[in-house]
């Protein structure tokens, strides 16, 4: 039995009057050919959001074939945020739901067929150059300037996570954008930085690349935290679980702990959970108290 199959609490819908709000943020980006494209992200603000004070912020990516609306449409993530924040189990925070696709939501079916490692990799440029300034200029985060320096200075208040292809995106963010993010929540997806499904097919090479990523960006083990999860009946188990086990072979970089408040690498392998938004919402429910 792999560590991490215990200590999970299930999320159930809560009828709550203290509801946050969703806001659409439109912004301009470019595609891989340099063509201008217009995109949007959904932004959650907690109940009682006060624009006069700064908030921590979590960027949460959808899975393949999804859109900026996928998390909201496919599970009770908003209710989970409302409940955990109101109950005091999580700090009030902003949550951004973006997309790595360059097309409108109603066009993503064809885009999904063309989805590749390149799509989520290319998003790393857009993430820093376009999305962060678009969102954090409209909502009060800890960034005092909408510049790379301003975002780097406030990385402790910024997290990135995602489901499936969004988890692949999260591993890319860890490899390339550690200067801007300090917390990572990859859910049911491995790193494809070496090759597609590399957590299964190139396990050792993938773990080595991930272990080298912090130092290559000027960071040590005290500068980041990872909360990863998948289910025993999720196909992603075949790639993510071996990857996490291989990452443990680098204790000088990854300090694994089953206590999610300690160390910098945590893993939840949930019995009978599948590859679905309600299940990964439950994983996020378990982790969200520890992000900020």
pLDDT at position 235 is: 97
* Residue 211 confidence (pLDDT) above 80: yes
Mean per-residue pLDDT, 72-87: 97
- Scored b (16 or more CB within 10 A) or e, 259-279 reads ebeebbbbbbbbeebbbbbeb
Q: Which domains does the chain have, with CATH numbers?
A: 21-290 (3.40.50.1820)
Instruction: Compute the distance between CA of residue 28 and CA of residue 105 in angstroms, rounded to an integer.
Output: 15
Model pLDDT, residue 118: 62
- pLDDT confidence tier of residue 1, bands split at 50, 70 and 90: very low
Cβ count within 10 A of residue 186: 31
pLDDT per residue as tens digits for the range 99-132: 998 865 455 555 555 555 568 899 999 999 999 9
What local confidence, expressed as pLDDT, does residue 3 receive?
45
Which pLDDT value is given to residue 113? 53
Task: Tell whether the model's pLDDT for residue 37 goes beyond 80.
Answer: yes
pLDDT confidence of residue 108:
53
pTM score, two decimals? 0.94
Q: Are 172 and 161 in contact (CB under 8 A)?
A: no
Q: What is the mean pLDDT of the chain?
A: 93
Q: Is the pLDDT of residue 4 over 50?
A: no
pLDDT tier for residue 2 given thresholds of 50, 70 and 90: very low
For 223-248, what is the mean pLDDT? 98
Phi and psi angles of residue 31, each rounded to the nearest 5 degrees, phi first? -90, -175
Parallel, antiparallel, or unpaired for β 21-30 and 36-45?
antiparallel
3-state helix, strand, coil in the chain (%, to 5): 40, 20, 40
The per-residue pLDDT for range 123-170, each reduced to its tens digit, is: 999 999 999 999 999 999 999 999 999 999 999 999 999 999 999 999
Q: In the beta sheet, which residues pair with residue 269?
A: 230
- Check the CA dihedral 278-120-44-291 and report its sign: positive
Two tokens at 11?
């999320």
Which of 93-107, 207-221, 229-243 is the least confident region? Answer: 93-107
């Amino acid at each position: 039995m792999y560590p991490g199959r215990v200590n999970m609490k299930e999320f159930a819908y809560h009828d709550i009057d203290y509801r946050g709000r969703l806001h659409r943020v439109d912004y301009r980006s470019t595609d891989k050919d340099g063509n201008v494209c217009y995109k949007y992200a959904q932004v959650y603000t907690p109940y009682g959001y006060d624009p006069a004070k700064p908030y921590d912020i979590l960027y949460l990516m959808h899975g393949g074939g999804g859109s900026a609306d996928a998390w909201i449409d496919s599970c009770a993530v908003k209710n989970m945020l409302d409940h955990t924040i109101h109950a005091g189990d999580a700090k009030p925070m902003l949550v951004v739901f973006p997309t790595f696709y360059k097309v409108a939501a109603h066009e993503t079916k064809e885009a999904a067929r063309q989805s590749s490692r390149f799509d989520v990799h290319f998003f790393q440029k857009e993430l820093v150059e376009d999305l962060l300034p678009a969102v954090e200029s409209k909502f009060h985060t800890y960034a005092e300037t909408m510049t790379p320096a301003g975002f780097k200075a406030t990385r402790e208040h910024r997290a990135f996570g995602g489901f499936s292809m969004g988890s692949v995106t999260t591993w890319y963010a860890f490899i390339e954008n550690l200067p801007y993010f300090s917390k990572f929540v990859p859910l049911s997806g491995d790193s494809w930085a070496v090759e597609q499904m590399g957590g299964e097919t190139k396990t050792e090479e993938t773990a080595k690349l991930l272990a080298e990523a912090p130092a290559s960006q000027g960071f040590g083990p005290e500068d980041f935290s990872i909360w990863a999860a998948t289910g025993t009946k999720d196909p992603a188990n075949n790639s993510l679980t071996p990857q996490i086990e291989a990452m443990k072979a680098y204790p000088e970089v990854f300090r694994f702990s089953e206590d999610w408040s300690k160390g910098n690498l945590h893993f939840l392998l949930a019995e009978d959970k599948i590859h679905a938004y309600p299940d990964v919402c439950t994983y996020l429910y378990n982790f969200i108290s520890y992000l900020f």
